[in-house]
Amino acid sequence: MADAGRPDLDERRRSRRPGRIQAEIVRVLTEGVACGELSPDVGIDSLAVSILAIRQGTHVLARLRGSQEPFRQAGRGIAQLLALASPREDSAQAAPASLAD
């Protein structure tokens, strides 16, 4: 293996593992709840898995299409998910039916 003995590459690979990335997403979402940016009712673990799945799928789509557009679209989609997880001024508002399932 050409990279043997390169601890910097080994560390980068370890830091990109899905379990580690998911833990970081959970940490950030937990901070969001603590700061009041996200609703305390949000399912942090479920949302973290969803964000990670979007990220992983985006890599596949971008490679297949040879385009960065999937990253832009995924970023907008994640922003929409986070907006739905934000505290609501009007508690009567509900998530769109397509996202509430």
φ, ψ dihedrals at 95, nearest 5°: -65, 150
First to last CA, the chain: 46
Q: Is residue 101 predicted with pLDDT exceeding 50? A: no
Rounded distance between C-alpha atoms, residue 34 and residue 31, angstroms: 5
**Is residue 5 classed as helix, strand or coil in its secondary structure?**
coil
Is the alpha carbon torsion for 48, 49, 55, 58 positive or negative? negative
H/E element holding 82? helix 69-84
Q: For the whole prediction, is pTM greater than 0.85?
A: no
pLDDT tens, residue by residue, 49-63:
999 999 999 999 999
User: Nearest Cα to 25, choosing from 56, 47, 58?
Assistant: 47
Q: Which of 46, 43, 64, 52 is closest to 17 using CA atoms?
A: 52
pLDDT > 90: what percent of the chain? 67
Band the pLDDT of 13: cuts 50, 70, 90: low
